Amino acid sequence: MKQIPQHIAIIMDGNGRWAKKRFLPRVAGHVKGVNALKKIVTHCNDLGVKYLTVFAFGRENWNRPQDEVSFLMRLILKRLNKELDELHSKNAQIKFIGDRSRINSELLASVLAAEDKTRQNTGLNFSICLDYSGQYDIVQAVNRIIAENPETPVTEEILSQYLLTDGIPNPELVIRTSGESRISNFMLWQLAYSELYFTNIYWPDFSPAELEGAIEWYNNRERRFGKISEQI
CB 133 within 8 A of CB 60: yes
Give catalytic residues, as residue numbers: 13, 61
* Per-residue pLDDT tens digits for 77-111: 999 999 999 999 999 999 999 999 999 999 999 99
pTM for the whole structure = 0.94
Mean pLDDT per block of 10 residues along the chain (232 residues) reads 90 97 97 98 96 97 96 97 97 98 96 98 97 98 94 93 97 97 97 97 98 96 67 50
Local structure of 174: helix, strand or coil: strand
CB 45 within 8 A of CB 86: no
Query: Cβ–Cβ contacts within 10 Å for residue 6, how many?
Result: 15
> CA 154 to CA 145: how far, in whole Å?
8
For each of the domains in the chain, give its residue range(s) and CATH number, in order of start: 7-132+172-219 (3.40.1180.10)
The pLDDT of residue 232 is 47
Residue 197: phi and psi, rounded to 5, are -115, 120
The pLDDT of residue 226 is 62
